[in-house]
Amino acid sequence: MALDRWIALVILCIVLVYGYAAWFIMDQLLPPFMQRNPIWPSTFPKLLSVLAILTALVIVLGLEKPAGPRKAPEIDYHRLGDYHLGAALALLGLMVAYALLLRPAGFLLATTGFLSLGALILGERNYPVLLGVSAAAAGIIWYLVEQLLGIALRPMPAFI
């Protein structure tokens, strides 16, 4: 089995657990007055799990590939060192660091740092534009979530 099918199989297993939680666990925690609503907090996770399961199944079953002659695989898993594996692992580490620093550093600082460092890892070198766009994006996202959606996010670090 090709590498893309193995990855899709792993994603399928993860999404099945996510879908189980969305369909059977999240709805039991709702208060009675919310159970009569047409849209629940679990509606988007349910939709997302169904779409992800279908997409992963299409890849695992090989339905996305044309039925013509087989070509050599695009990703050679014997040569993983030739790809930008370091950048991918650095981005994964950066995502974990962002999740851990979101509360203590505050949303604005953590998000600006995440976007800036992520763009640096991906190769962007125009520092003034990079910091300006990252700070603007973090500020706009914070405003939308805080003011329009009414979800409280700590914008600044805990010590301020």
Q: How many domains does the chain have?
A: 2
| Residue 120 structural domain | 85-148
* Cα 65 from chain centroid (whole Å): 25
Cα–Cα distance measured from residue 116 to residue 129, given in angstroms and rounded to the nearest whole number: 10
Domain shared by 104 and 65, yes or no: no
pLDDT in tens, 106-146: 999 999 999 999 999 998 999 999 999 999 999 999 998 88
* 93 shares a domain with 61: no
Query: Mind listing the pLDDT tens digit for each residue in 63-105?
Result: 887 766 666 667 666 777 777 888 889 999 999 999 999 889 9
pLDDT band at 155 (very low <50, low <70, confident <90, very high): confident
Residue scoring higher pLDDT (1 or 116): 116
What is the pTM assigned to this prediction? Answer: 0.57
- How much is the pLDDT for 68? 66
Residue 131 forms part of a structural domain: yes
Q: Which two tokens stand for residue 160?
A: 């301020």
Residue 106 placed within a domain: yes
